[in-house]
Amino acid sequence: MIGPDIDRLIQLLAKLPGLGPRSARRAALHLIKKRDILMLPLADALATAARTIVVCPICGNLDSREPCTLCSDPRRDDSILCVVEDVADLWALERSGAFRGRYHVLGGTLSALDGVGPDDLRITSLVQRATGTAVREVVLALNATVDGQTTAHYVTERLADCAITVSRLAHGVPLGGELDYLDDGTLATALRARRPM
């Protein structure tokens, strides 16, 4: 006999990834206890974001401005384009602070199983951008999964006619990784791609 307003809140919270029914109940109680400092600001942040967030028409990033902050930043390098699967990957690369070029979000990977074909991804607009005079290199920062690598090969083919370099992220031992725990494929790849000290 939970009241209808709390019940509805719990049902909706339980739909968030990472929250099940039990943690949704805990989150709801936590929110009610912190009504002014968390519940109302969160309601407001959700409503604001729902109103303002748009997909950047150039790169596919999510932002409240159009074009997005990254596309409209004049200090970024126009000559190098980093292709990612998803906005989450773009954020991960931005957190690393290692890339100062522009991005292009594909919006997924090719997947025969899930019925995702080339037309479902933002590949045509990538080819258009890569054909532009500014771009000299496209870095494919796709997941090292079967679908990610299939997509990388397909995108490479589609970019074959552009006079640009197409590269991909290096494979190897992750920093802090212990060899003992690494899979055979990664170890073999890291050995083949060994570098002089």
Interacting residue ranges for its own copies, rule: CB under 8 A: 1-6, 8-9, 12-13, 15-19, 23, 25-32, 34-35, 38-50, 52-53, 62-65, 68-70, 73, 86-88, 91, 94
Could you tell me the smallest distance in angstroms from the CB atom of residue 18 to its own copies? 4
CB nearer to its own copies: give 64 or 165.
64
C-beta of 142: minimal distance to its own copies in Å? 17
Other beta carbons less than 10 A from residue 156's beta carbon: 14
Q: Of 37 and 160, which has the nearer Cβ to its own copies?
A: 37
* Of 71, 62, 77, residue with least CA distance to 139: 77
Residue nearer to its own copies on the CB measure, 1 or 197: 1
Which residue, among 74, 131, 121, has the nearest Cα to 102 in the 3D structure? 74
CB closer to its own copies out of 42 and 134? 42
Q: Give the burial string for 61-96 (b: 16+ CB within 10 Å, else e).
A: bebeeeebebbeeeeeeeebbbbbbbbebbeebeee
